[in-house]
A and B are shown apart, each in its own frame.
Chain A
Amino acid sequence: MKSYWIKRIVRLLILLLGVSVLCFVLTALSSTDPAVYIIRRGNLSPTPEMIAQVRTELGLDQPLPVRYFNWIGGIFHGDFGESVFSTNEVAEDLARYFPQTLQLVVLSLAEIIVFSILLGVLCAAKKNKLTDHIMRIISLFGICIPPFWLGFLLLLGFAVEIPIFSVTPAPGIVGLILPSITLSFPVICSTVRVFRASLLEEMHRDYVSYARANGMTVNRILWTKALRNALPPVITLFCQYVSYLIAGSAVVEKVFSIKGVGNYLMNCIMAADANAIGACMLIIATLYLLAELFGEILNRLLCPWRKEESDVA
């Protein structure tokens, strides 16, 4: 058991290393030259000499491996380097933009948890009835539509036609309601499907008939027994969506003009800002891996009997 967790953490570190290399190399391969970006921002037309000079200042003339090790070495000292895009320290930028995104993501996660569970149980309880069919159509719709389009539709509907919310970002939680719905809706649609299937599978198990033979009503079995045993697949899926939410917030933040990390990341990509992109990706990857680990721990606590199965595999 102990060796399992050690293996798990070693795997996590190797994955993070891989992510950092990939991010850095891919950014370096991009056709945008940060030097050109900086010169253009100064309203100058870039000449080869100017470009060479800026490249030396940024340290871009050094070979790629050297640049990578400088960067990754800095991270171990808490120094993410300087952002080409904003000319600030990356760490400073992140400290400014992350709270916004985090609020959005946490709100979306809360919506996902509440609605997935409620609607999943509803669909399973009303299997093949009208409610279930309606929910099936809505979730297919939700899985198919692109989030930015849903965002525009929500803005059009609830900020322009029926002005409950404002088009420009409102301060506080009110301003996050529409964006969080945009972010969570597609996820809810797929988790509800998975949860419904998982619940119905549980409802066919022997312990359900035994509970029924002991006089328990179907609804009570659904809530007190099947729910808990049906959760693990949904939790796994849900934890995988955590990173999707952070990355997906880029599109949503653009649509709703929220100054969050997603918006920042998009701008940095335009500037081929290796330091900032690397830092953002590393944080998102870390959060993803931590969420996955958290999901696994939660599953083991909920259904300890599954432990035996996964240890063998």
Chain B
Amino acid sequence: MSKKLLQVEQLSIALKNPHQQLIRDINISLEEASAAILLGQSGSGKTMTCRAILGLLNRNTFQVDGNIQFDGVSLLQLKEKERTLYYGSKIAFVPQNPMTSLDPSRKIGVQMAGFLKLHQDLKGKDALSLYEQALSRAGLTDTKRILGSRPYQLSGGMLQRCLIALAIAGKAKLVIADEPTTALDAIHRDKAVEQFLHLQEQGCALLIVTHDFDVARHIGGHVLIMKEGRMVEQGRAKEVLQNPQAAYTRELIEAIHLGWR
């Protein structure tokens, strides 16, 4: 049994005013170099769960209860200044919308090197070349041009890989990806999935949010099905996806097969 890396216990999130329960009693347990997949339809609270783990929820607006334990530290108790020790260094994030996730006015190289310098004792040039290496590992060839481009000059697929490259360069222990394949076409999607699997091989744990069953099947690991802010079913990916127990999971899977085919 390897070490527990991330443990989410009884996580509940509510809107404060007017009071509205958004997420109730979510439990996630993730070991080192393992993968967990959050599945569910839009509005089921997957993204909200991610944002809670990333400490992005505004505490004036949201009431967050429960416990999120990472590497022996309670993430919910972190102070603003302690965030730097975990987010961006041990926990990397790949956001949902690559087109709007970067500062539109700055060159990609400058922004990414800036993030790396927050956590690693690097000079500007070294941070840039570290990121450049990560870019080529993420499957991008035209690295010099990308470093000198601003976000609006690149396509969504390229930007998505730029974001994944930052996760690679950051040497994180846990990568949280919020629908990382939504903006991508089928070919780029498969490549992105491969990059995540590659990260996992190197000892990085994955928490991936998706509504794409193919991605879930590909990455495997532990699957958690969410509906309306609650956990409906969880288990090993193969078992849950091939032999779903909960009615809702069966409904979800059937919906795909009914579709347009």
Complex contact B80–A217 (CB within 8 A): yes
Per-residue CB contact flags for chain B residues 86-103 toward chain A (1 = under 8 Å, else 0) read: 111100110101001111
The minimal Cβ–Cβ distance linking B20 to chain A, given in whole angstroms, is: 20
The minimal Cβ–Cβ distance linking B117 to chain A, given in whole angstroms, is: 11
Chain A 188-217 interface residues, beta-carbon cutoff 8 Å to B = 205-207, 209-217
For the complex, give the distance between the alpha carbons of A305 and B108 in Å. 13
Complex contact A207–B54 (CB within 8 A): no
Complex contact A214–B103 (CB within 8 A): no
Closest chain A residue to B105, Cβ basis: A303
User: Within 8 Å CB of B104, what residues of A?
Assistant: 207, 229, 303, 305
The minimal Cβ–Cβ distance linking B107 to chain A, given in whole angstroms, is: 10
> Is A126 interfacial (CB-CB < 8 Å)?
no
For the complex, give the distance between the alpha carbons of A304 and B103 in Å. 12
Determine which of A209, A303, A308 lies in contact with B95 in the assembled complex, contact meaning CB atoms within 8 Å: A209
Closest chain B residue to A232, Cβ basis: B105
Complex contact A215–B105 (CB within 8 A): no
The minimal Cβ–Cβ distance linking A100 to chain B, given in whole angstroms, is: 39
User: Within 8 Å CB of B151, what residues of A?
Assistant: 305
Closest chain B residue to A301, Cβ basis: B105
> Is A25 interfacial (CB-CB < 8 Å)?
no
> Is A225 interfacial (CB-CB < 8 Å)?
yes
Complex contact A214–B105 (CB within 8 A): no
Per-residue CB contact flags for chain B residues 38-59 toward chain A (1 = under 8 Å, else 0) read: 0000000000000100111000
Complex contact B152–A215 (CB within 8 A): no
For the complex, give the distance between the alpha carbons of A155 and B40 in Å. 68
For the complex, give the distance between the alpha carbons of A269 and B204 in Å. 77
Complex contact A308–B152 (CB within 8 A): yes
For the complex, give the distance between the alpha carbons of A228 and B106 in Å. 10
Complex contact B105–A213 (CB within 8 A): no
For the complex, give the distance between the alpha carbons of A302 and B150 in Å. 12
User: Within 8 Å CB of B81, what residues of A?
Assistant: 217
Complex contact A217–B83 (CB within 8 A): yes
User: Within 8 Å CB of A229, what residues of B?
Assistant: 103-105
> Known contacts being A305-B150, A305-B151, is A207 close to B86, with CB within 8 Å?
no
> Is A110 interfacial (CB-CB < 8 Å)?
no
Complex contact A206–B95 (CB within 8 A): yes
> Is A106 interfacial (CB-CB < 8 Å)?
no
User: Within 8 Å CB of A304, what residues of B?
Assistant: 105, 150, 152
Determine which of A205, A215, A302, A305 lies in contact with B118 in the assembled complex, contact meaning CB atoms within 8 Å: A215
Complex contact B93–A213 (CB within 8 A): yes
User: Within 8 Å CB of A303, what residues of B?
Assistant: 104-105
For the complex, give the distance between the alpha carbons of A212 and B95 in Å. 12
The minimal Cβ–Cβ distance linking A67 to chain B, given in whole angstroms, is: 51
For the complex, give the distance between the alpha carbons of A227 and B170 in Å. 26
Closest chain A residue to B116, Cβ basis: A214
Closest chain A residue to B80, Cβ basis: A217
For the complex, give the distance between the alpha carbons of A217 and B55 in Å. 12
Complex contact A207–B103 (CB within 8 A): yes
For the complex, give the distance between the alpha carbons of A168 and B76 in Å. 62
Chain A 258-305 interface residues, beta-carbon cutoff 8 Å to B = 302-305
Closest chain B residue to A205, Cβ basis: B100
- What are 22 A-B residue pairs whose CB atoms fall within 8 Å in the complex? A205-B100, A206-B95, A207-B102, A207-B103, A209-B51, A210-B163, A212-B83, A212-B87, A213-B88, A213-B93, A213-B95, A214-B88, A214-B93, A214-B118, A215-B89, A217-B81, A217-B83, A229-B104, A302-B105, A303-B105, A304-B105, A305-B105
Additional A-B contacts beyond A215-B86, A305-B105 (20; CB < 8 A): A207-B103, A209-B95, A212-B83, A212-B87, A213-B56, A214-B87, A214-B115, A215-B87, A215-B88, A215-B115, A215-B118, A216-B115, A217-B84, A224-B114, A302-B105, A304-B150, A304-B152, A305-B104, A305-B150, A305-B152
The 10 closest A-B pairs by CB, nearest first: A215-B88, A214-B88, A213-B93, A206-B100, A215-B84, A215-B87, A305-B152, A210-B101, A305-B104, A214-B115
